[in-house]
Amino acid sequence: MGKCTLALLVAALGWVAAPPRVPLPTPDADDGGITLPAGFRAIVVADNLVVNRKQGNDAERLRGIAIAPNGDIYAKTKFGPILALRDADGDGRAETIKAFGPGDGGTHIAFHDGWLYHSSRTAVYRQKYTPGELVPAGETQTIVARLPAEKDHDAKAFAFDDQGHVLVEVGSPYNVYSNPDRQLGAKGMDPTEFQKTYGGFWRFDAAKPNQTQADGVRFSTGHRHALALAWHPVSKQFFMVQMGRDNLNVVDPVHYDALDNAERVSEVMHVVREGSNFGWPFSYWDPFKKAHMLAPEFGGDNVKRVDPDPYDKPVVAFPAHWAPIQMAIYTGAQFPAKYRNGAFVAFHGSWNRAPRPQAGYQVAFVPFDDRGMPVGTFETFADGFAGTREFVSTGDARYRPAGVAVGADGSLYITDTEKGRVWRVFYTGETTTPAARAGAPVSASTAVTDGSRGAQLYQQACAPCHMPDGRGVSGMQPPLVQSPVVAGDAATLIRAVLHGPAQVLPANRPKYANLMPPFAGAMNDVDLAAALTFVRRAFGNGASPISAADVAAQRRVPAGAR
């Protein structure tokens, strides 16, 4: 068969040759200072993009990111322009950096249907994308204008469905819709009129210029603020991760303490369907009780659940205050099969867990099933951004993740807000970490996990205090590694977790600043058994497992029994 005949046959049958595989760059020896699962490596594409940059009195920050089909990178700054980055020689580093755009800041940016879309505090714009053109030469079109924006929660996230619509978030400027807000004794107000303008997603025509909020359809309501928003191509649903409320113990110190504020309000992933109501400002999701709890501003007391519960339930519950910024569905083919059609979520990290250590400075991975729905769990994918495990002030964090996006070749790109670093993560199949290659111990920030249900529960409920590697925090939370309580008598360990150490352990035990609360009402027998079995296996020298029957038996033992 001649070449011409073969070419005609290929064209007739609609076959498309696979694009040539582009060689991956040489990774940085330390993966740019972050930790990744075995088989993954990273390179710093650009660095210090916002160092010494200011807008008025505000230090500039890098936020969301989008990747062009040819690999050019477009990063949004919080107050100023868009930064366009190009790696022309293929070494993985961006040599060309140009600024463009309206210059009024924002967070979100994305490619869609041949256009580059981006948002400010009050508008959504787009510019025509011409392949190979680093800075779009066409005029900037305003798709939605004059969106409401006040002091807090004013960034505008957006995402596209497959029917020509764009979903845009209008967050609430309140922590909880109350008077006063975030203060002792705050009382909730009727949000009926308020939620006609704030605290929801609005749907617009993605290609129609000069729309206003009045032209849109209020798609969903009952949320506080959600920047991590994405459309899933398999389930054909929108998914978002909401930023939960703050200041439980400030508003009502009688019923809530610092530990409640640090742990009890989950950052939740939801399916966003037309007509969804997620329960804000009346409620919040407690990840331990697995329930919508009545907010203290509306009569909650840390016990009252929303019953009956009319609100949409989350599909994944993350720890409190991790601050999700951007989410990307992994539609590439470079990573192993487990990552296909799953979600990567960039967490900026907490600011208000003090006096407990801050947490959540990571990129998490959420696996999805064949139907395009989350399986209900998550795992740490990229970590080590903060550079330290033990810090209370956010200013002590080295980097804070914000943007995450998938490139055409399947690489994952991550941005840092504070200095403006951009990482490119790719899969090489290597089986050792950088630390192991150098003969050094595994980083303390590397999560200890074996994929079991107990490991997942440990990561969600225990790791924020005892750390992923079980080493605790000096003077604040006890280490689990080499702990005689963990490795010793199972009954004592179970009772200490059920009732709190002060009620079970000897009075002369080592004391720590943050006292673990009772977990009797926070976990059922099966979950508590799974979590403690993992703790004993991982940190207790392989001590014997604990069964649900063991936990049930100890629930019947008085708290003060020794």
347 inside domain:
yes
**pLDDT attached to residue 365:** 97
CA–CA distance, 186 with 141 (Å, rounded to integer): 42
- Say yes or no: 483 and 357 in one domain: no
Strands (E), 233-290: 237-241, 266-272, 283-286
Q: Are 72 and 411 in contact (CB under 8 A)?
A: no
Domain residue limits at 518: 453-555
Q: Are 421 and 48 in contact (CB under 8 A)?
A: yes
387 inside domain:
yes
> Domain containing 232 — which CATH number?
2.120.10.30
- Say yes or no: 98 and 228 in one domain: yes
SS3 383: strand
Structural domain ending residue among the three candidates 437, 469, 493? 437
Instruction: At 311, list the tokens.
Output: 């609100």
31 inside domain:
no
Q: Are 381 and 445 in contact (CB under 8 A)?
A: no
CA–CA distance, 482 with 541 (Å, rounded to integer): 8
**pLDDT attached to residue 19:** 42
Closest CA to 530 of 329, 377, 346, 355: 377
- What is the value of pTM for the model shown? 0.78
- The secondary structure of 196-223 as a DSSP string is GTSSEEEEEETT-SSB-GGGSEEEEE--
- Say yes or no: 150 and 122 in one domain: yes
Domain count, the chain: 2
Return the H-helix or E-strand segment holding 548: helix 548-555
Instruction: At 459, list the tokens.
Output: 């990561």
CA–CA distance, 53 with 160 (Å, rounded to integer): 32
* Cα–Cα distances in angstroms (integers) from residue 287 to residues 179, 214, 263, 292, 400, in the given order: 27, 36, 8, 9, 24
Cβ count within 10 A of residue 14 = 6
Q: Which residues of 265-281 are buried (b: 16+ CB within 10 A; e: fewer)?
A: bbbbbbbbeeebebbbb
- Say yes or no: 373 and 517 in one domain: no
132 inside domain:
yes
- Say yes or no: 551 and 404 in one domain: no
- Say yes or no: 407 and 502 in one domain: no
> Domain containing 474 — which CATH number?
1.10.760.10
15 inside domain:
no
What secondary structure, in 3-state letters, does 457-504 show? HHHHHHHHHHCCCCCCECCCECCCCCCHHHHCCHHHHHHHHHHCHHHH
**pLDDT attached to residue 449:** 59
Q: Which residues of 228-241 are buried (b: 16+ CB within 10 A; e: fewer)?
A: bbbbbeebebbbbb
Q: Which residues, including other chains, have CB under 8 Å from residue 129's CB and lie 6 or more apart?
A: 68, 111, 114, 115, 116, 136
Instruction: At 269, list the tokens.
Output: 């992933």
CA–CA distance, 48 with 35 (Å, rounded to integer): 20
- Say yes or no: 375 and 258 in one domain: yes
Structural domain ending residue among the three candidates 437, 471, 492? 437
389 inside domain:
yes
Q: What is the pLDDT along the chain (562 residues), one digit of tens a residue?
A: 443 433 333 333 333 334 445 689 999 999 999 999 999 999 999 999 999 898 878 899 999 999 999 999 999 999 999 999 999 999 999 999 999 988 888 899 999 999 999 999 999 999 999 998 999 998 999 999 999 988 889 899 999 999 999 999 999 999 999 999 999 999 999 999 999 999 999 999 999 999 999 999 999 999 999 999 999 999 999 999 999 999 999 999 999 999 999 999 999 999 999 999 999 999 999 999 999 999 999 999 999 999 999 999 999 999 999 999 999 999 999 999 999 999 999 999 999 888 788 999 999 999 999 999 999 999 999 999 998 777 888 888 999 999 999 999 999 999 999 999 999 999 999 876 554 544 333 333 334 556 788 888 888 788 767 777 787 755 556 888 878 889 888 998 989 898 888 888 888 777 765 667 788 877 899 989 999 999 998 888 788 999 999 999 989 887 666 5
Closest CA to 333 of 404, 266, 426: 426
Residue 95: burial class (beta carbons within 10 Å; 0-12, 13-18, 19+)? exposed
**pLDDT attached to residue 202:** 98
- Say yes or no: 404 and 464 in one domain: no
Could you give the maximum distance between any two Cα atoms of the chain, in Å? 89
9 inside domain:
no
Q: Are 322 and 346 in contact (CB under 8 A)?
A: no
- Say yes or no: 410 and 494 in one domain: no
Structural domain ending residue among the three candidates 437, 472, 490? 437
- Say yes or no: 543 and 429 in one domain: no
- Say yes or no: 375 and 514 in one domain: no
- Say yes or no: 257 and 397 in one domain: yes
**Rounded to the nearest 5°, which phi and psi values hold at 488?**
-90, -140
The 8-class DSSP code of residue 20 comes to P
At 227, which amino acid appears? L
62 inside domain:
yes
Q: Which residues, including other chains, have CB under 8 Å from residue 236's CB and lie 6 or more apart?
A: 161, 162, 372
